[in-house]
Structure 1
């Protein structure tokens, strides 16, 4: 196992294990091309990204191509890799990244750029594209940030602009053909530049004026002047994963996610996604239901998320939601709509959402005043917002989250005051509702993104951002409302790199050298290092936040998102004139330039009837009565890679396996029903076990052996049910049933005589004081309580304990630290049950 000696020394080692249910492993010797899909953030963030999962599935459908995954290592893992001289490896086959033909990075957020460069360093791949040869992997980027990839232009070989489902396989075929032809890197890049939607920065020359602005962007002969975005014409015809990779650890979004539509026609003038993903393409509702049924049966999650930029605008949303609730309510599957507009909410829609459990209720007015909402073309009314939240509170929601932006074009303090007024009105709308009503206000700083009508606008600076944040925070606090806000310095950097040019590459490289990593994480962000990087490179970052003139050459002008420059300029002027641009979904074309009305055009689904269907196949809820109620007790082994999976993560993956096995587990009552599954106490980090005791509260008896086999078929490597037995449901829980636990530790290298003396001294002592580190602090503890017996047999240490961790006891006896004990792979080998003395 790769990293085996490293994993005991890092936090969240399950990030680096792989081997998940649904992962695809191909023999590297039996494929012609390999691509590492690299996500420049941690596993739990990257595994929650749907586009990444779609590409993994589509690429692996080709027998000649292997797609594997890799995520950015957390700083403690990076440090361990560097100390051990270990390269960054993929999850599937544990191959070093440098041995892949292609490394493809998804760029979701500007503050992940330093992670991309760090991952190249850890892979021993030269940072700069001009330092790489044909022997090095081709570095490809994609995602929303690829619509202005210029700050990273020094580091990648080519970018896929737009939808990747067809473009990325075409790029892989071109790389395979180039390999077969024996072409050098220059010829390969020329070949790739001929693919629609592929941008090769080395084939474009950028020059600058004396004032620092871009003077020109000149394409090499035979290269298109502008790289037009790649379009997936028909979302419904595109393949979608129904056997998703089921994460071993708990991720940011632990749910089955289905993209029901791509694109948005609302025309919010600040929203880059609303322009770069046009036109709207909806997936057929029957196909959505099919995808969800198969995905739930395979993955075992308890929530389905219907994803799009505005899920409530989906043409069949109400019949689709009603159908899903009918199918899955008995299985305790919740359905969430994470992107809802006030205008698309109806009481009927909200009533359907609450049938199983109330998932989050979040609305985004964006601006507090009607005037400013006209500027941004938001198109919602404050009265509709208050009415919608009043309905939510009356239906049982206790918390509503409101998202706003500050720093929007033409914003004044009066507009900010109206954010406070609107939040107060929303809270008052919940008066008298059962359980109370609360409102959280979240505020981000507006960043004028490329390919929007506001791409020419200025972004407010640090001092003004802090002033407006303080104004809002103090006045909301006075109204007993909570506010969350984005760090001003982070938004500042986001604006710099969102609108930056190639000269910023030197700053990124310098920031990496200074230690910048995970800049989107509050606990890792260090603005002082960035200030030093800018100073060392002689660049004034605030210059990039200035207002741009309409005749200026923008750094991203050679990237064609499909929407015309003239349309963006027209929208900018309409914004300043408080003019509304209608949604073209209603049939009035706004002439934005995206559609050719032959291949590329809106593909919509009007409200349609769906077959009602029966309850879903995933873990039906057990009967409420107790006449058939029983308990299934399992003895589960947690070995190999499984020992690095934390207790909460273990509970999550086991719960999903039980659901997938279709066992009739009972659920708790209340706001968020949970399966009645009881676990024994948590294992120490890095320990193996042959005797994890788990009880399932069942509504009816099952065949124990068949139930164990069903669960085993759905567990990842490192976990296995060894025994199963039916018990009376009134039996005490695992933790209450266990009298003592037996642990084993191989320590043959120790001096048995001296160790025997230490064991004897330990057992005869009344107290054994020791110092342990807990959360970075030294804590004095007594090791003697909880230890029933210790014996040494042929170089193997056995401990019997009623409570507590065996690690500090073993460390004391062997005169070493706990990390050393973890390296010896201690194992829990059995438990003794109370009142019976029986070993399990």
Structure 2
């Protein structure tokens, strides 16, 4: 059974289509090695992850490797696959996961662990590494959670610790060499463990004391007592995707993402990323500009996100932003800095950001009181925060988002009250600004993470989390402030697995058997099932939230992040003393031990090497017409066929907007606060229906020949979409919705069609009213099907239906005496439109 046969029954089939612009599809017979890059969450989340995109591009640049993608299937697809006995497949070639040589999972979040086992099950790959033979894929994991991979140690063959750009290619080369040598699985693992950064759990043994603590954590190889993380010394020397895969649906972060720096020197003591990604390595602004220009041209996106753990700390941030605005503001490209530190956000930066449109404005004070910010080494003051938000409100921002944590070490209720007071001060800082000011407060529960100064601290339990959340909710509500929070049970479980050991593998496996999936999603998380899993395995989950002794063996002690325990212990003492550790970017070395001051060192770009202004590139979409007399309207007839029919209407609109930008057509933009391209579409198609007559109007600032426009667009449209023809009209012509008098649909008649169908059709057309019931929001609602139907005809085994307005599905269902679900399974197609008199048609 093909995926295409299952897609009509899914709520979001566009998650599983593949064929996107920028995707790479290779002939499996023409490559030596295949790897499925697996993201244990849905498509719209995974497609927003930059690391995944980087590895996809790096691997596919090698002719001998085929890298394909697979994302966690939502419950509806999982159910359909199990019912049909079909395996989970990749997007590019629809190959079952069990047929790949390597299956690589990224570990971004502890609550995605159950999805990994579910994907292994659906892919036909045994869960446990001991159960796999030579013909099974090598299961590899990586990402930030791989710095304590022990809860999953039973399920993967090896983990890649640290930066993956070079190490993953070396791993693939080792697998290729091992296969050429005819080696078995054990010999392959021996070969892999010699690659720096690769951890093989089968090469380590763990013993436990009677009280549950670890008694010994030993390597079976004397030459490899610990696994040191892999690092990339120079970002400029690393490959970066400039022709990104452009999603066919709206994703969590729908934009061009460019990593401008990796690592952070701020030293926030709760932040795992701030330690495991040290030292800071900045990408040169020239390379950033080049990546942005090529990526925008290849993708058609209208926003660029400059990614870093602290984007505002990038040494060239102001001249870089000025150059980006100089190049792309005319093309309506906005720039966002999603990770900003209060002290690094200047009025000049905010002025640049708002030039096109105001992207999100989020700041993370983390703690409300000065005392607790000293404990966590945050290094900002309340005055800094309030001054920054006052400027933002003054520059036109209406909403500021503030992120805090509760449950930090040494926290008291007074510290929580300080969150309320600080948020109220921020809101007050916008008083009197035009349009008003609002503040959204988001509060997460502190989870101690491995390889941080707080890795020994206790995590508060569920009851205490709820108490502190309620204290904040009530206090913020009294100040008319909104609060978002993480479910206490989710944070509890995250804490268990963040510092867990190998014994938790049995719990994860049992939880999957009980139906746990997508545990990071509120509407999917079922804590009762997890409680049952722990009970069935005879384990106490709360034991894992306890404080750890300074001399205790930790489950991740064999993973070397490059920073010694002695430094973390010193930072822990500094925290409890309320003493700050300075930023080594601005002062003396703090002695964390990560740098060798030769290859691995702090690498900052030089602002003096970047010109102040770079001319805008050619070929950008126009935003204004040089003269009204040049305005015209390009009307297109587009086909939406094959898998393209499963793209929803809003997703199709976004997809087409990006194709127009890639094609460089001079589309006009609306005026106002958020300008939009003047592109008009005909009404939405029913879900899953093909079309040969999607009518789209483009309001152009200058004439473009029809042939050129059609050619350009067809080069830029993804699989399943094709412009059939076009026509240039006067720009004053009515929009498609106002120009179309009727729409013609054709449905293949089933073998079981009513024999009296012609009589039913005649009676329908003669009737003044055809009452029926339709489900609206789950409730049967009376409707009249007769209005809008102008013609019915049977021709060549198909039912032709002409509508002035509305959906054809209930009419066809009525005529065939079946429900709408059955009609959706019939091959149906929009075959034409009827225009009102005048020069309308392409």
The equivalent of 2:582 in structure 1 is: 582
Q: TM (normalized to structure 1)? A: 0.98
Name 1:614's counterpart in structure 2: 615
Rounded to whole Å, the distance in 1 between the matches of 2:488 and 2:360 is 26
1:802 maps to which residue? 804
Farther off after superposition, 141-150 or 609-618? 609-618
Q: What does residue 477 of structure 2 align with? A: 477
What residue is the counterpart of 2:397 in the other structure?
397
1:786, distance to aligned residue in structure 2 (A)? 1.6
Cα distance between partner residues in 2 of 1:276 and 1:839: 60
User: Who is 1:128 aligned against?
Assistant: 128
Q: How does 1:109-124 map to 2 (within 5 A)?
A: 109-124=109-124
Partner of 1:652: 654
Alpha carbons 1:43, 1:71 under 8 Å: kept: yes
Q: Residue in 2 aligned with 1:386? A: 386
2:426 is matched with 426
- Residue pair 1:622, 1:698 contacting (<8 A) in 2 also: no
1:26-37 to 2 correspondences below 5 Å: 26-37=26-37
What is the aligned partner in structure 1 of residue 784 from structure 2?
Answer: 782
Q: Which runs of 4+ in 1 moved over 6 A?
A: 837-840
Q: Does 1:193 align with 2:193?
A: yes
Aligned pairs (5 A) from 1:749-828: 749-751=751-753, 753-828=755-830
Mapped partners of 2:775, 2:750: distance in 1: 27
Could you say if the C-alpha distance between residues 289 and 173 of structure 1 is closer, same or farther in structure 2, counting changes exceeding 3 Å?
A: same
SS at match of 1:695: strand
Q: Which residue of 1 aligns with 2:247?
A: 247
TM superposition shift of 1:815: 2.4
CA-to-partner distance for each residue in 1:170-210, whole Å, 9 max, x for gaps? 00011111111111111111111111100011111111110
In the other structure, the counterpart of 1:264 is 264
- Once the two structures are TM-superposed, the CA of residue 752 in structure 1 deviates from its matched residue by 6.6
Q: For structure 1, which runs of at least 5 residues remain unmatched after alignment?
A: none
Secondary structure of the 1:432 match is: coil
Q: For 1:16-52, what per-residue CA distance to the aligned partner results, in whole angstroms no more than 9, with x for missing partners? A: 0000011111110011100000000000100000000
Matched, 1:508 2:508: yes
C-alpha distance in 2 between matches for 1:751 and 1:603: 72
Q: 1:475 to 1:748 in 2, by over 3 A?
A: closer
- 1:515-568 deviations in Å (ceiling 9; x for gaps): 111111111111111111111111111110011111111111111111110000
TM-score by length of 2: 0.98
Tell me how far apart the structure 2 counterparts of residues 814 and 209 of structure 1 sit (CA, whole Å).
71
Deviates more, 1:697-706 or 1:333-342: 697-706
Q: Given the superposition, is the C-alpha separation of residues 774 and 222 from structure 1 closer, same or farther in structure 2, using an over 3 Å criterion?
A: farther
**Deviation per CA, 1:658-716, whole angstroms, max 9, x where unpaired?**
01111111112222221111111111100001111111111222212211111110000
Shift of 1:376: 0.2
8 Å CA contact retained: 1:319, 1:609: no
SS of corresponding position for 1:584: coil
Which whole-Å CA distance do the structure 2 matches of 1:330 and 1:61 have between them? 33
**Distance apart, 1:769 and its partner CA:** 2.8
Q: Does residue 724 in structure 1 map to residue 723 in structure 2?
A: no
Contact 1:8 1:819 (8 Å CA) reproduced:
no
807-816 vs 454-463, greater mean Cα deviation: 807-816
C-alpha distance in 1 between matches for 2:839 and 2:54: 52
**Structure 2 Cα separation of the partners of residues 150 and 645 of structure 1:** 40
Q: Partner of 1:153 in structure 2? A: 153
What's the RMSD between the two structures over aligned residues?
A: 1.3
Aligned partners of 2:219, 2:609: CA distance in 1, in Å?
Answer: 52
Q: Deviations over 1:231-264 (max 9, x none)?
A: 1111111010111111111111110000000000
1:223 CA displacement: 5.2
Deviates more, 1:77-86 or 1:48-57: 77-86
Deviation (angstroms), 1:372: 0.3
Write the mapping of 1:199-598 to structure 2, written as runs, cut at 5 A: 199-222=199-222, 224-598=224-598
Q: Which of 727, 731, 738 is the matching residue for 2:740?
A: 738
CA positional deviation for 1:608: 2.3
- Partner in structure 1 of residue 642 of structure 2: 640
Q: Distance in 1 between matches of 2:782 and 2:237?
A: 63
Deviations 1:452-500 (A, max 9, x none): 0000000010001001111111111111111111111111111011011
2-structure distance, mates of 1:184, 1:776: 56
Deviation at residue 504 of structure 1 after TM alignment: 0.7
CA distance in 2, matches of 1:744, 1:17: 24
User: In the alignment, is residue 7 of structure 1 matched against residue 7 of structure 2?
Assistant: yes
Instruction: Report the Cα distance in structure 2 between the residues aligned to 1:312 and 1:442, rounded to whole angstroms.
Output: 21
Given the superposition, is the C-alpha separation of residues 193 and 666 from structure 1 closer, same or farther in structure 2, using an over 3 Å criterion?
same
Moved more, 601-610 or 480-489: 601-610
SS for the counterpart of 1:350 is helix
> What's the secondary structure of 2:21's corresponding residue?
coil
Listed one character per residue, the Cα deviations across residues 712-744 of structure 1 (whole Å, up to 9, x for unaligned) are: 100001101111111122212111111110001
CA distance, structure 1, for counterparts of residue 374 and residue 168 of structure 2: 39
Taking the aligned partners of 1:309 and 1:2, their CA distance within structure 2 comes to 42
Deviation at 1:838, TM superposition (A): 7.5
**SS in structure 1 at match of 2:751:** coil
CA contact (8 A) 2:150 2:556 kept: yes
What is residue 837 of structure 2 aligned with on the other side? 835
CA shift for structure 1 position 609? 4.5
Task: Tell me the distance in 2 between the aligned counterparts of 1:665 and 1:153.
Answer: 54
- Mapped partners of 2:223, 2:493: distance in 1: 32
Aligned residues of 1:621 and 1:665 also touching (Cα < 8 A)? yes
Unaligned runs of at least 5 residues, structure 2? none
SS of the equivalent of 2:180 reads helix
Per-residue displacement from partner, 1:275-320 (whole Å, max 9, x unpaired)?
Answer: 0000000001101101110110110100000000000000100000
Q: Distance in 2 between matches of 1:146 and 1:777?
A: 48
Partners of 1:580 and 1:494 lie apart in 2 by 28
In the alignment, the residues of structure 2 paired with residue 192 and residue 459 of structure 1 have an alpha-carbon distance, to the nearest angstrom, of 36
| Offset at residue 758 of structure 1 (A) | 2.2
Are residues 1:671 and 2:673 paired? yes
Cα offset, 1:390, TM superposition:
0.5
Query: Partners in 1 of 2:274 and 2:787 — Cα distance?
Result: 62
1:763 CA drift (Å): 2.1
Deviation at 1:757, TM superposition (A): 2.3
The answer to which of 768-777 and 359-368 deviates more is 768-777
Contact map agreement 2:744 2:801 (CA 8 A) in 1: yes
CA distance in 2, matches of 1:838, 1:817: 36
Deviation at 1:837, TM superposition (A): 10
Q: Give the Å deviation of 1:767.
A: 2.8
In structure 2, C-alpha distance between the alignment counterparts of 1:838 and 1:108, rounded to whole Å = 52
**What are the residue-to-residue correspondences of 1:695-706 with 2, within 5 Å?**
695-706=697-708
